[in-house]
Every structure is written in structure tokens, then in C-alpha cells.
Amino acid sequence: MCGIVGFLALPSLSSTDGETILINMAKAIEARGPDDHGAWCDAERGVGLGHRRLAIVDLSPAGHQPMTSVSGRYVLVYNGEIYNHAQLRKDLESQGHLVDWRGHSDTETMLAGFDFWGVTSTLEKCQGMFAFGLWDRDTATLTLARDRAGEKPLYYGFLGTGPSRTLVFASELKALRAHPHFEGNINRDAITLLLRHNYVPAPYSIYQNVYKLPPASQIILSLSDVASQQAPQPIEYWSITGVVENGRADPYKGTPEQAVDDLDALLRSVVDQQMMADVPLGAFLSGGVDSSTIVALMQSQSARPIKTFTIGFEESRFNEAVFAKTVAQHLNTDHTELYVSAAQAMAVIPKLPHIYDEPFSDSSQIPTYLVSALAREHVTVSLSGDAGDELFAGYTRYQATSNVWQKLSRLPQPVRALASGAMASISPGRWNAVTDFAPPLKRRFGTNLGDKIHKAASVLGSVGIDQLYRGFVSHWPDPKRVVLGSNEPHTKLTRDWSSLGNLTDVEKMMLLDFMTYLPDDILTKVDRASMAVSLESRVPFLDHRVVEFAWTLPLNYKLREGEGKWVLKQVLDRYVPRQLIERPKMGFGVPIDEWLRGGLRDWAEALLTPDKLRSEGFFDVNQVRNKWQEHVAGERNWAYHLWDVIMFQAWLEGTNG
């Protein structure tokens, strides 16, 4: 795994100055590639490429980047792994493209593919995760591209004015900030998205004129684009909606039992392929269905015990370590677990602004960093079970939202809107008081009945399942009222998906998560946490063949009698007894709500003082302060809302500090 940087500028730099800029940009993301670095600059064309290397495959100098193709046409900086690159070499040779290979890196394989098949055709043949910058000397164009699911990040944007106009790109924002022309004007509209989702979704970033390249896309840029500071629209080379439509047009025709056989065989092949490495390799293990499946398939194909890693917590409601240990013992893995105290976990928080580099407020970022750091003490590559829920209907919210909508949709929308207003007109405190006189309600809802009713009221007036789901996965329901001088941009969650009318409600939500929550939250979280400790993380479920197979399966192969991931659980049953896995789903989280009232209270209060909020001028002070005061008093649980604001404040302070 690596970090990449580069620029395309109106020619005004010497090669020496250009290389200095590249080296400084790459130095900012050294953790992504501590083993080697390189810079290449063509001052006459105004282009420069820089690289930081974490050596995984071909540890020799033959894997050094930037790398030039044999023809001399292409120069490449690349971050990722192409798992089928050995087969691609055979395909090239069988089709008559004979190469005098310098080494066995996948970087060299990609360049040979670009020379022979062209860029887009090579992308379509690659099985892997990647982001790259590719300079084409023949056409004087820069191509940026990103893998299908969005495992690897890539930012790009325009800096400077006049003769200093520059297009820059990098794996992380901190590299862009190292460019001498970087201004760092904050995008207030992006803050509204952070407050709604706890992340800034692609194509937006926290900075004006800086964008995330969407997954499965490439963008081709020239000096004329730099001069006009207008980038063309990214072009998809693979489409998840196309995959869904193809799966519906040509669905799986085998029996459920045959589907289990086929999924087992496919996952075994993918996992075997992703165990390719010239360095120590292991896996994250939570003891849940997804990670246990990946570890079981790894162990079934390994002659030695697979190294597995789990973080444990003292708080039982967040502790999965005991379940992971039983699975590890059954599979005979070489298991390492580390129990951390609340104080140890909270000690990670000051590092988060630098690690995540952009405001990001999924609090499971904390245990993700801890388990990555633990794994890095023993291995350089770790496989994970991410994406099983999005592909096989694993989230309980899918069924819950669908059931709610089936009932709500029977009522006319104006009636629902009226009921919403009536429910919201009663304060949460008064709703909570009802439970004091109704023990059954208190047993079911605890002391936060009012919060749940107000959440329900906020989505009751929804006009469709898409809008209902967006409401359920939102934190602040109307963030533009909280962020001063802002407008909330449109995202994939606000688009009209009625054209996909042949999907069930559950399938629509799975698709929306795959396009939004998965790349912009889950994969971002894992990439930044693992790369901060120079650990490569791989996600077998995101091999595009698995994604495409999953979308051919009928929903009742995934969701049966209220049980999600049916077909995947049948695969796991072949390796691990069901009783070791069967338990209520746990989130990989930490008790942020309690910490904000306890060990984090003074730190958070310092970030949320009225004077500080007022002087910075990003948030409506009264709304933020009211939620903070209600939370610390124990009147309401505003942990998610406050963590969004606090993570922005911590990032702002860290960036300007």
C-alpha cells in the first residue's frame, strides 16, 4: 500500500522546484509508505508525480515508483493491489505482448496493460483496490482513477490563480496542504453533510475547489483544464446500478443450496487471491458472521495458523473479544487480543484530526485505529469482513425501515404530516415522563422514549422509502439551520431512484448504502486508521465478482424469516458451529455518550465554548450549546449530533494549530 501525490501546472517551475514540492507533499503522508519514496517531474509539461511506498509485493527496487512503462509513453504513481496481476501477465503474453519484466510488481503489470490494451480496458480487467495518477506523454494528459468500490482514496482540486494555477491530487488532504499554493478555504456546505451523515460524501470535500474522485471512475485532465480551472466530469468504467440492473435482468437460477456452494467457491478463490503478499499477513476478527467467514476461508487454505486480532473493552455492551476468542479457538488461529480501558481508548482521540485529515465523526474510528495498531505489531497486511452487511442484507435497519414504511404508506401523506407535528409538539421530557407511569414502556424504551418519538416524528411525513431511509440515517435533520451561511448540497441519497422500481425496499437501501455509507464512512474509516500505522487492509467481499454475484441472488436467498445474510451464514456453517456466531448484532463502537459526560467533558467543553463558536463563525451557537447542556445534564442523548460538531472543532483546531 502506498501514498500518491502529484500536480499538473501551467509551466512555471524548474524540475528541481517541482521535485521539492512533490517530496514535501509525499512526506506529509509518509505513514502510507514508510519503505521508499520517489518523485518525477517534467517541468516543460508542468507535470509532477510523487510516491510513498509500503512494500507488499516485490520488495526489491524493481517496484520503485514513479514507474515508466516499457514503451516510455506512461508514467505511473499507484496505491493499491491488483490481485490478478499474475494472470494479467499471462494474458498479455498469450495475446502477443511480450515484456522483458524487470520484477514482479503489479505496478509494472498495470503499465504493460496500459501500453497494450489501453487504460479503460485494463481497468476493466483488474481485480483489486487502487487509486492512481497516470501521465500520458503522447496526449499530454493526466488520468486519475479509483477502484470500483472506493477502497482507496483520491482527492483532486485546483489551487492558485494566474500563472500559478495548478491542479493537484493526493491520497489524503494533508498532502495537498503541503503544496505552497494551498489556501484551505473551508466549504461550509460540506459541513452540513458532515452534520447529517458523520462524513463528507464524495464528490465533496471539506475544502472549496477540492473534490473526491467517486469510486469506479476515471477523470482525464489536460493543461487547458488547469488554465480554465474547470475539470471534466469523471467517467464511470463500472457501474453498481448497472450491476444491479444486470442482476435483475439475468438472476441466479440455481437452488438456494447451489447458491451456497457457488458463494463458498467464489469466496474461497477471492480470499486465496487476496492472501498474496511478500510480507506477514493476518485478519481482523470480531467473532461476527462477516469477519469469521473471511478468517475461516483463510485458515482452510493455509498450512499454518492465520494471525487474527481483536480489541476488547471493559464495557460489556461494546466487547466482542469474548466471541472472537471462541471462533479463533475453534479455527486454531494464532490469535491476539488486547483489552483497552476507557482511558486508553480516549487517549486516541487527540490523534483523530491528523489521522482522518478531514472532519469525520463515526466514533468506531477509535476501536478501528486500536485494532489496526495491534495488528501492525505483528503483520503488514490484514483482511477484514467489511461489506457483508451491504451485500447480503445484514443491517437490521433494512427490515425495520421497510416494515415501518409498509405501515406508514397506508396513511395519506397529509395525515402523516399532521401526526408528525402533533408528536413533535410535546417535548421529549414530557414523553419520558409517561414511562414513569407505564413500566412496560420503560422496560421497552428505557428513559429515552422522547428521543425515539421525536426521531419518528421527523420521518413520519416522508413521501417515499428513499426519503424515510435518509431520515433514519441522518444525525441533524436540517443541518443548514445549524451551519451559518450554508446550503446542503444534493447527494446520492437525495436523488430520485424511482427508475430502479423493480427493487424491493430492502434492496434499495442496500444499494444506497453501497454507494454512500460504505465508501464514504466504512472504507474511509478503515483506510485512514490502517494507513496511519502503515498497515494494508484488504476487503475480500468487495471483489467485483462477489458484488456482481450477490446482486444476481434473489432477496430471499439473503433475507429469510427475518434473518439477514442467510446464504452467507450457510457458508460459514461449513466452517464454524452456528452457536459460536449466533447472537444479537453488535456495533464496533465506544460509549461516546457516557464519555462526553465524563472523561471527555472538559476537553469537549473547551471546544464548544460560546466565545469559541461565535468567533469561528461556523455554527449557530444556541443550537449547539442547548444540545451540549441537555446532554451533560443527562436530559437527552445528543452524542451523535455533538460528536459531529466536536470532530469538526477538533479538526479545525488541529489544522490551524
Query: What's the CA gap between 341 and 538, in Å, rounded?
Result: 28
The reply to whether 192 falls in a domain is: yes
Same domain as 156, residue 204 = yes
SS3 560: strand
Same domain as 402, residue 366 = no
| Dihedral sign for Cα atoms in the order 457, 463, 465, 466 | negative
Closest C-alpha among 564, 255, 271, 188 to residue 392: 564
The reply to whether 241 falls in a domain is: no
Mode of pairing for the β-strands spanning 334-340 and 307-313:
parallel
Provide the domain count of the chain.
Answer: 4
CATH number at residue 161: 3.60.20.10
Query: What's the CA gap between 5 and 355, in Å, rounded?
Result: 17
Amino acid occupying residue 258: Q
Same domain as 308, residue 224 = no
Same domain as 188, residue 134 = yes
Domain boundary among 473, 492, 511: 511
The reply to whether 587 falls in a domain is: no
Query: Which pLDDT does position 561 carry in this prediction?
Result: 87
Cell of 414: 397529509
Same domain as 250, residue 194 = no
Domain boundary among 555, 580, 605: 580
Q: Three-state SS across 589-650?
A: CCCHHHHHHCCCHHHHHHHCCHHHHHHHCCECHHHHHHHHHHHHCCCCCCHHHHHHHHHHHH
Closest C-alpha among 500, 325, 503 to residue 398: 503
Is 41 among the residues known to form the active site? no
CATH number at residue 281: 3.40.50.620
Query: What's the CA gap between 211 and 276, in Å, rounded?
Result: 32
Query: Which pLDDT does position 54 carry in this prediction?
Result: 85
Query: Which pLDDT does position 1 carry in this prediction?
Result: 62
Integer angstrom CA distances of residue 575 from 247, 354, 489, 591: 28, 40, 46, 33
Query: Which pLDDT does position 404 carry in this prediction?
Result: 78
Query: What's the CA gap between 504 and 317, in Å, rounded?
Result: 33
DSSP states along 421-483: HHHHHS-HHHHHHHHTT-HHHHHHHTT-HHHHHHHHHHHHT-SSHHHHHHHHT-SSSSGGGTB
**Sites in the chain below the pLDDT cut of 70:** 1, 316, 420, 423-424, 427-429, 435-452, 454-459, 461, 501, 584-588, 656-657
Contact of 625 with 608, CB cutoff 8 Å: yes
Active-site option among 2, 134, 289, 348:
2
Same domain as 84, residue 202 = yes
List, as own/partner pairs, every contact residues 451-459 make where C-beta atoms lie below 8 angstroms and the sequence separation is at least 24, other chains included: 451/636, 451/637, 453/423, 453/426, 453/428, 454/423, 454/424, 454/428, 456/423, 457/419, 457/420, 457/421, 457/423, 457/424, 458/420, 458/424
For 272, counting Cβ atoms within 10 Å of its Cβ (0-12 exposed, 13-18 middle, 19+ buried), the class is middle
Please report, rounded to a whole number, the percentage of residues in the chain having pLDDT higher than 90: 74
Same domain as 192, residue 52 = yes
Cell of 377: 505489531
Distant-in-sequence, close-in-space partners of 100: CB < 8 Å, separation ≥ 6: 70
Query: Which pLDDT does position 162 carry in this prediction?
Result: 83
Is 311 annotated as belonging to a binding site? Answer: yes
Is pTM beyond 0.85 here? yes
- Tens-place pLDDT, residues 549-595: 999 999 999 999 888 999 999 999 999 999 998 876 666 678 899 99
Is 644 annotated as belonging to a binding site? Answer: no
Query: Which pLDDT does position 349 carry in this prediction?
Result: 93
SS3 118: coil
Query: Which pLDDT does position 360 carry in this prediction?
Result: 97
Distant-in-sequence, close-in-space partners of 230: CB < 8 Å, separation ≥ 6: none
Same domain as 60, residue 200 = yes
Same domain as 372, residue 297 = yes
Contact of 23 with 50, CB cutoff 8 Å: yes
Same domain as 495, residue 563 = no
Cell of 99: 515484456
Same domain as 465, residue 401 = yes
Strand partners, 146: 131
The reply to whether 586 falls in a domain is: no
DSSP states along 143-179: EEEE-SS--S--EEEEE--GGG-EEEEESSHHHHHTS
Distant-in-sequence, close-in-space partners of 87: CB < 8 Å, separation ≥ 6: none
Q: Among all chains, which residue has been given the C-alpha cell 524540475?
A: 15
**Helix/strand/coil percent split, the chain, to 5:** 50, 15, 35
Is 286 annotated as belonging to a binding site? Answer: no
Query: What's the CA gap between 185 and 207, in Å, rounded?
Result: 6
Is 219 annotated as belonging to a binding site? Answer: no
Strand partners, 82: 128
| Dihedral sign for Cα atoms in the order 562, 516, 318, 593 | negative
Integer angstrom CA distances of residue 348 from 26, 130, 285, 363: 24, 28, 21, 11
Query: Which pLDDT does position 149 carry in this prediction?
Result: 98
Q: How many CB atoms lie within 10 A of CB 111?
A: 24
Query: Which pLDDT does position 31 carry in this prediction?
Result: 95
Cell of 365: 474510528
Residue 628: give the domain boundaries: 592-656
Same domain as 168, residue 92 = yes
Domain boundary among 511, 535, 550: 511
